[in-house]
Every structure is written in C-alpha cells, then in structure tokens.
Amino acid sequence: MRDRLPLIALLGAATWSAWACAAAPRVPEALPTPDESVIEDQTGSSPAFTNRPHVPTGPLPAPAPISAVDENGQLVDPIASLQALLDAGEVTFSFDSVTGYLPSVLAALDIPLSSQTLIFSRTSLQTMNISPWAPRGVYFNDDVYIGYVSDESPILEIGAVDPDDGGTFYILPQDPDSPPAFLKQTRDCLGCHEAGPTMRVPGFLVRSTVVDRHGWTIRTLHDEQVTDRTPWDERFAGWYVTGTHEGPSHGGNVRAELESHEVDNPDHFAATFDLAGGGNVTDLSDRLDLSVYLSEHSDVVALLVMTHQSRIHNVITTVHTTVEEALRDQTAARVTRGIEIPESGLTATTEVRIESAVEQLVREMFFSREAPIPGPVRGTTTFAEDFESRGPFDQQGRTLRSFDLETRLFRYPFSFLVYSEAFDAIPEVAKSRLYARIDDVLSGREQSAEYAHLDADTRTAIRDILMQTKADFAAAVQ
C-alpha cells in the first residue's frame, strides 16, 4: 500500500527523468539485492505467482477533452493540455492504493489497458526498481506513453508528442497528499531521448536487449532503435511478450543465466545467445507478481504497433526540425554571404534538405522494406480490436488501422499517424511536397523498389481511404 512519499524520494526521482533511457548503466557486480534474494529461489528462477491483476479502486475520470492548442493559440502536447484541465478543476484524479494515479491518468488520456507491455530489462531511469520479476509497464495511445514501475516507485514517467517539438517528457509524483502535478523534464531525459537512436531529435525508442538473470544489459542487439525493418527474431529481447505466432520466435521472454559481469565478450555473447525459446507465451503468472499491474498481459500486437509509431514520431519530428534548420541557415546565408533567394523562396540546397527529410518520411509511412512477420500473429488481449475501433473509417468501413498480421502488420500499409497532430503541424513547405510524393506512390507514378510491396489494389484502397478521411490530402491532390 502506498504511503506519503518522503521528500528525498521525490527529489531523487526528479533527478533522473527519462521514461525509457536507451541503455541502463552496467554495474561491475550485478549481485542480488536483499529483495532479489527473497524473491528468487536458489536456482535463480522466479516463483509461481497466483495473484491476479489489480482492479483499481475509486472513481475514474471520463476521457478528457484534450486539445492540441492552449488558450493562447499555441500548440501544446497532451500532458500540458491535461494539466490545464486538472488546474481548472475540469478533470479530477483519484489515488489508487496500489497503482497510485496510473488508472486515472490512463482513463483521462483514453489509453486502453490492453496497450500494457512489460519490459524487464533495466533500461530506464529507475533501474534499481526494475527486474524480470518486477518489470516496467508501458501504456500508450497515439501520442502519449506512460511508464509505471510497480507499487514502490515514487513517480510515473510520461512521454508525450508535442506537435511542433516532438518528444516531451514529464514525471508525475505518486503523492496522495498533493494535487497531481505533471513536472516537465528536460536535460536528464534528453540525454537518452535526443540521441542517435532517436535520430537526434527529441523522441522515443523501442530497444531489443540481451539481459542477464537480473535484467542488467549485456548487449543491445541494435545500436539504433527497433523499427518495422528489424527482423522478427531480433525483436523484443528484454520484454515480456504474450501472444502466438508461426515460424521462428521473437526474442522476448528470455534472459541469460549469467550475470553481466561474468560475460567477458558481450558482443560475442549476444551474437550467439539463443533468443528462440520465448515464443508463443500466453501466461505470465509464473514469472512475476501480477497483483501490482492492471493487466496480466504484454500483448505482441501492442508491441508491434508501439515499435512502428515510436519510429514514425521521430521521423515526423525530423521533418519539422529539418525545415526549421534549413530555413534558418538559408536566412543566415542571405544575410552574411549575400546569397540570392529564388522566387520560389528556397535555394537549391534548402530544397534538397527538405525533400530528403520528406522522402524518408514517405518511405517509412509506407512500411518500405518492412520485415515479414510469421503470421498468423495473435495477441492475448483486445488491443487489436480496441486499436482498430478508433478509425477513422471510409464509406466502405475501411481504416488504416486494420491489421493484417499474416505477413505484415497492417492490411493497408500506410501509417495511421497521418491523422496525428504532429503530422498536421508539418510546415506547409514540406507538407505540399509530402502529399505530392504520397500521391505519386498511390497513383502508381512511383514504381521504385521501395514500394514494390504495394500492389495496384492496395494503392487504390489506401488512396480511397485517405481521400475520404484526410480532407487536406484530398484538397491537395485533386
């Protein structure tokens, strides 16, 4: 049961404030703490747990009227909007005895419980509170990620998408005696969340990490983030994964028996470590205590969607950043070197920079070079249904959120984040080029190998869906 948090706990939590740092620090001796010694038996295995997921107590808020624009007409992220509603008394949180503010946050942001995924690698700011028997829960919707670490953590960790600036990070102190206040974080978070794996923009990442018996990192399988292009058998190491599939296994649900300090050559160990034993798991009750979580699952379909969208968020932010930097550099060149600006308003250099960023976004939104999945892939929750139900739908009932899950993730492979606030906020100088290139692909004018996975019927279906559900696209290409 949660008590009032000591001040030192809150100060310590505020010092380390990213919701999913790229890599946890390795310790010289990954020895069991007293808690670990109690939880693990002498063989190093977790005991069988019989507890079921926690059912929250107290009233929960209705989905809040989140707005991407504040009272001054400025674009804001969903957490800033939610905080304004809390301050105005329009939204009220209740404090749950086990999970604190987590149920209220999920309810207010309309984040489904079925989105819960569980990561046991110690790759977050709260490394000492995470382990294979106490994984970190991650819940998400299209533009917010919530990190939750058991019932002992003093904070919730939040990542949200600012339409202009990309990843924005907060903590929410789990203090029942103080009004809920999302505290914005900057420097500490961006050490991980504005680095190479996030394309050097403020963003998000899913990693695949070979870990030791206690969850400490031995080796990250990929220096960059996991994406739609990552081979199936190299995904999800360090995560619990519930669901079924055919063919080879993903890398979830397994960990090394060694401790990280016992591994002399991490690169060789990771390259030869057998990740194949964790597939087709549907029950986690013998691996962790479920009574401190809101769901008993870590749905494979949810993980696939989170992998896709976290990457696309970063690519969209890269377009924003590229436009801003290219135009700033163009202005500086005009002022300092007297470079003449063409009537089009863009120099050749500026056009190349913007078009390069746009082209990358087009490729990734169309799932170019997507790694095949060994379908049928099926999750263990209602996530697939919950996700698809959000639409929007065309007149034939089709939506970009429809899953395939046989050989690829989506039936109509074009990213649903076309409906996101961040996509809508792409500057017009880039968006006009973006829509023209999307239409080139969908109309069949673009026939390069990058889009060979799109047959004529699929291109036509995606174009029809966009024409009926994305008004500014329809206006731009008609």
pLDDT given for residue 127 in this prediction? 83
Alpha-carbon distance of 374 to 285, in angstroms, equals 25
pLDDT given for residue 46 in this prediction? 47
Question: What's the burial of 41, exposed, middle or buried (CB within 10 Å: 0-12/13-18/19+)?
Answer: exposed
pLDDT given for residue 192 in this prediction? 62
Q: Can you tell me which residue has the tokens 């046989």?
A: 406
Cis amide leading into 392 (omega within 30):
yes
Alpha helix locations (H) across 88-129?
102-108
At 314, which amino acid appears? N
pTM here is 0.88
Alpha-carbon distance of 300 to 379, in angstroms, equals 5
Identify whether the C-beta of residue 234 lies closer than 8 Å to the C-beta of residue 208: yes
User: How many other CB atoms sit within 10 Å of the CB of residue 16?
Assistant: 18
pLDDT given for residue 191 in this prediction? 53
Q: Which tokens is 342 given?
A: 């063409």
Question: What's the burial of 35, exposed, middle or buried (CB within 10 Å: 0-12/13-18/19+)?
Answer: middle
Q: Collect the ranges in the chain with pLDDT lower than 50.
A: 1, 3-48, 194
Alpha-carbon distance of 197 to 210, in angstroms, equals 17
For residue 67, the SS3 value is coil
Q: Which tokens is 218 given?
A: 């031995």
Long-range contacts of 130-133 (CB under 8 A, 24+ apart): 130/215, 131/36, 131/39, 131/214, 131/215, 132/46, 132/211, 132/213, 132/214, 132/215, 132/255, 132/287, 132/288, 133/36, 133/39, 133/40, 133/46, 133/287, 133/288, 133/289
Q: Can you tell me which residue has the tokens 């030192």?
A: 8
Q: Give 453's contacts (C-beta < 8 A, 6+ positions apart).
A: 367, 368, 370, 408, 413
Burial 173-195 (b: 16+ CB within 10 A, else e): bbbbeeebebbbbeebbbebbbb
Q: Give 151's contacts (C-beta < 8 A, 6+ positions apart).
A: 1, 2, 98, 99, 100, 292
In Å, how far from its chain's centre is CA 284? 22
In Å, how far from its chain's centre is CA 81? 20
pLDDT given for residue 150 in this prediction? 83
Alpha-carbon distance of 114 to 166, in angstroms, equals 25
Alpha-carbon distance of 100 to 93, in angstroms, equals 10
The dihedral over CA atoms of 364, 370, 373, 376, expressed in degrees to the nearest 10, equals 60
At 284, which amino acid appears? L
Cross-sheet strand order for the sheet of 239-240: 183-185, 166-173, 155-162, 144-149, 136-140, 117-119, 239-240
Nearest to 458 by CA among 398, 417, 374: 398
